[in-house]
Amino acid sequence: MRPVLLAAALVGGLLGAPAQAPAAEAVCFLSCDRLDPSRAGQETFPVPEKNLNGRRLVLHVSDADGMAWGSIDDGVRGDAVWLDRSWDGGRTWEGLLGKAAIPDTWTGTRTLMYNISDPGGHRRGLIRACGDAAGVGCTDWVYPVVCDVRCDHTDAGQAIGDVRPVPPATLAGRSISLHTDANGMAWAGIEAGGPGDEVWLDRSWNEGASWPDGSSLGRITVSGTGARTAMFATRDPRARLYGGAVRACGRASSGQNGACTAWARPSPTRAGAAADALMYSYSPHPGWWPSSWWNTAATLTTVIELGDRSHDWVIGRTFEQNKGVFPAGGRSSDPIEGNFVSRAIDDSAWWGLAWVAAYDRTGESRYLTMATTIADYVHGYWDTGTCGGGVWWDRERTYKNAVTAGLYLRLAAAVHNRTPGDTVWRGRARTAADWYLRSGLINGASLVNDGLTRDCRNNGQTVWTYNQGLAIGGFLEAWRATGDGALLDTARRLADAAVTGLTRDGVLTESCDVGTRTCDDNQKQFKGIFSRYLADLARVTGGYAGFAARQAESIWSRDRDPLNRIGQRWAGGSPNQLDWRTQASGLGALIAAR
């Protein structure tokens, strides 16, 4: 028997549980497995230490890092310590992780650090410290119970509300139903059953593809005609796993037949539920939503605006992992040259606005400093030699368009509004607003076309919702910077035009939402950006609440599946596209309607 299997078998025999020891693949979350404990962000001891023949076996945990390490003390040469990690609730495990033996003249040693869970791979793990010192023993598994607002095994009588997110399953006259409450807890129930029937809950962290650590939760046997399980959490903020999917299952007393409902994510609030589904696609080790660069900036801004403290770690993570240099293909088709800039001037400006939002959320100066750095870079492409002003869309100076104009206006004004004593950015915002108004980008219907021709005329190209939204947001922020009421009036005029001119039956509609057309990866996110800036205007004017409510209601009732995933067509219909970009866009509308 190989040494790894032998050790696992010894521990399994000692603890009375079967085990297997597949080769462990490195897990990377905030850091990769095998990090030195000297780099731990904290040190806690959530499980009791183990006395192993007079030795102290200790599990050390850093929730800040999502990692753990083991140590053995009061030992002798040759005593060993390692970690076990399980992905199925402790039934099986990867053994001997980081195994270390006490060397000569020492009385103790420790392992390296390993990740407890794998949020990027949508796996919830357990970990424990084990040792061999004249016998094999282990500490308890850490965090076997999932806790959010409430913890696993809470009595369903304590539920705050009762929502049945999917139709019940039927089985030989029985009705098996899934229930969720306002805290995101879930339980299963069976009705019209009989003695000996069973009911339970399954929980999955990968949208129902598998459920190795969440099978048969709360399984109970019916003594009368109905029963319900205890409640189980569907979010694990400690493990950075959000929006776990659940289903209710049951078995009739006669035979081995069974049935389950569809999988669903609870939805305590609309925006919160949409955000949980969005976070499923965040890749925490590289710190972005693969694989779109500017879309990640816009998506991060939306997550920041949600204001959920459990997601605040994403702000710093995205900043630190992406502020460096990346070759072409690493983050974008263009090289990223550091400080979030590239040849795409509009892409850079999206990141500038993201860091403005991060500064507003956290008050950390590093974000405003970065936003200002990016704004300086964008300003370098302001050019009065063509069309009397405006910022070029790209470094090659091929196009002056609405997206770059709107981004620069909003960013310049935002930097001024957050920089005490500034006059430079105020002047730039004033100049940018004046230029935008006379540029011709706004057509006779007060809608914003895509850009200008080489001879500086409105090119008549598509009115995209995000260009309209950026213009609204830009003039609004410029009003804050200058106090000029005419700029606020312009923002209102553009918003009023959009409410009638960019909707169908009251629902915001992109031109690529119509008929058999589909939207590209950029266009998928446009409507949510419009919603962001209309909401900002609404906070100032007190208007547009009815419009925002219509968008949210249509999304929730016509463009959402049981996992709270939101598609491109807010009014429903097909062909409908669905990915994290459409999710971020829909989330923007739900935030606007709060």
Summarize the confidence of residues 100-119 as an average pLDDT: 97
Q: Taking the domain 156-260, which CATH number applies?
A: 2.60.40
How many CA atoms, within 13 angstroms, populate the side-chain half-sphere of residue 446?
A: 14
CATH of 37-138, one of 1.10.3280, 2.60.40, 2.60.120, 1.10.260: 2.60.40
Per-residue pLDDT at 17 exceeds 60: no
Residue 473, classed as helix, strand or coil, is helix
* 254 band by pLDDT with thresholds 50, 70 and 90: confident
Model pLDDT, residue 257: 84
Whether cis (ω within 30° of 0) applies to the bond prior to 291 is yes
Q: Which of 17-31, 275-289, 540-554 has the lowest mean pLDDT?
A: 17-31
Q: Which of 17-21, 166-170, 291-295, 405-409 has the lowest mean pLDDT?
A: 17-21
| 525 DSSP 8-state letter | G
**DSSP line for 444-460:** TTS-B-SBB-TTSSB--
Summarize the confidence of residues 136-152 as an average pLDDT: 98
pLDDT above 90: percentage of residues in the chain: 95
Q: Residue 50: in which H helix or E strand, if any?
A: strand 50-52
Distance CA 370, CA 376 (A): 10
Q: Which of 255-259, 308-312, 566-570 has the lowest mean pLDDT?
A: 255-259
In this chain, the answer to whether the domains covering 37-138 and 156-260 adopt an identical fold is yes
Tokens of 537: 């205007």
Distance CA 387, CA 399 (A): 11
Model pLDDT, residue 255: 72
Model pLDDT, residue 6: 29
Model pLDDT, residue 21: 47
- Residues 430-456 have pLDDT tens digits of 999 999 999 999 999 999 999 999 999
Number of continuous H segments (helices) and E segments (strands) in the chain? 13, 22
Q: Residue 498: in which H helix or E strand, if any?
A: helix 485-501
Model pLDDT, residue 23: 60
Per-residue pLDDT at 10 exceeds 90: no
Per-residue pLDDT at 14 exceeds 60: no
Tokens of 474: 């830009």
Distance CA 502, CA 492 (A): 15
CB 58 within 8 A of CB 71: yes
Per-residue pLDDT at 106 exceeds 90: yes
Distance CA 364, CA 304 (A): 14
Amino acid at 300: L
Burial of 561 from C-beta contacts in 10 A (0-12 / 13-18 / 19+): middle
* 22 band by pLDDT with thresholds 50, 70 and 90: low
Per-residue pLDDT at 5 exceeds 70: no
What residue ranges do the domains of the chain occupy? Answer: 37-138, 156-260, 269-367
Phi, psi angle pair for 328, to nearest 5°? -55, 130
Per-residue pLDDT at 15 exceeds 60: no
CB 113 within 8 A of CB 21: no
